[in-house]
Each structure stands twice: as C-alpha cells, then as structure tokens.
Chains A and B, each alone.
Chain A
C-alpha cells in the first residue's frame, strides 16, 4: 500500500527556510504571500499501513520539532 507522509516544522518554531522563500517571492512579482513553511515529503510502499504512525514517531519525524500527517 502506498502511503505519503507530510512532515512540517511545528507551529511556533522559527522556520528560516520558509522565511527565505517568503522573502524571495515578491522579487518575482508574487505579492501578498505569507506563512510560507518548508517541510519534507516521504513516500512509502508498506505491507501494513497501521504501523506508519509508529514509523513517524520513531524515525520519519522528530515529534519535538515536527508534526506529521499521513495520507493513504
């Protein structure tokens, strides 16, 4: 089964990558863009999707600093 995991920096933690992208957009004429955040996407083919949350907690994300969303 194919599973996609979206990993984002937790809200409230400074995200300098997101800020850099946000600052770059107006230079290209894209005005008014805000709250830009850069995260990671992990695609997996798994035999048992019920184990994906544990994979996220233990390896794919660091729950202290990142949130994750599992999409099937």
Chain B
C-alpha cells in the first residue's frame, strides 16, 4: 500500500471513527510526568504560520487537501517525528522538545486531526513490537494532551515493525524506525 492510499484510508477512518471517545486519563508512567514550565500557557499563533495567514492573495497551503497540508507542515518544521530508545517508550528530552513544537502548531491550528503512528525497529519480535508501537504512539498522544491538544483530535495506530522507514540493518536505521510519526489525517469542525 502506498503512503497516499494509506493516508486516504485513514482519512475515511477519521470520519467514521467517532464512537470511541477517548477520555483523558491520568498519566500512569512516572517517566512521562510533565514539567509545565516548558509549555506556553495560552494559545498563540505560531510565528511560522504567519506568512500563510497574512498573504491573502496566495492560497494558504494548510487550507488545501490534507496530504498537501501535511507535507507543508512537515517541510516547514511545524510538525515532526519523535524517536525512542531501544525497547523503550519513554519520551526522551529531544522527543519532548519536538512534541512541544508540534503542540504549538496544533494549538494554533485547531482544525486539524492528527494520526500518530507508533513504529518499532526490527530487532524485537513482531507481535511484541505491535504493542510497543502502540505504547509509543500513546505516550506521544498523552504528552500532547497535557500540552493542550485535545485527545479527540489525536488518533493512534501502531505498525510495530511492519512498516519500517529504513531498511538497513544498522543502528542509524534502527533509530529511524523507532519513532512516532505524525500525520494530518482530518479536519475538525473548528477550522
């Protein structure tokens, strides 16, 4: 399956899947306790999005189709993936920093629904890695929630080691595959 058809599929899913409303639940993992000081308390328009809003004559790349919006957000560094240690789902400092940036974009763009993919490198076992990928995606989701991104805007899906980003058998590649990947997959009624 190509990435685009998958994204399209997930868009359909995003529209359909309303039933399972996720309640925000207390953070259970001690390693994921949040230091609120790193968080901007109120919603602000992130400076990076300003040109798009200011220029009335040029179409806002974020108002186009979701794939284009996703690509734009990624290319502008508004939305980025986070990486994990081997066997781990705890958020590293670089992951928390990246999530704070992602949260900034998402709070200033409440119209977007996001899917968080959890991935694992090939070295674990396939079925355990599915569970590990699920943990990683949910760790990212919970952290984004504490940064003010509503849980109803965040979906998760685990791919375990079944859809690697990188195919070499080397640590540089394995690190690439231990990630949570963020994709814009829908719009809320807000936008």
Are A and B part of the same complex?
Answer: no
Residues of B within 8 A of A (CB): none
Residues of A within 8 A of B (CB): none
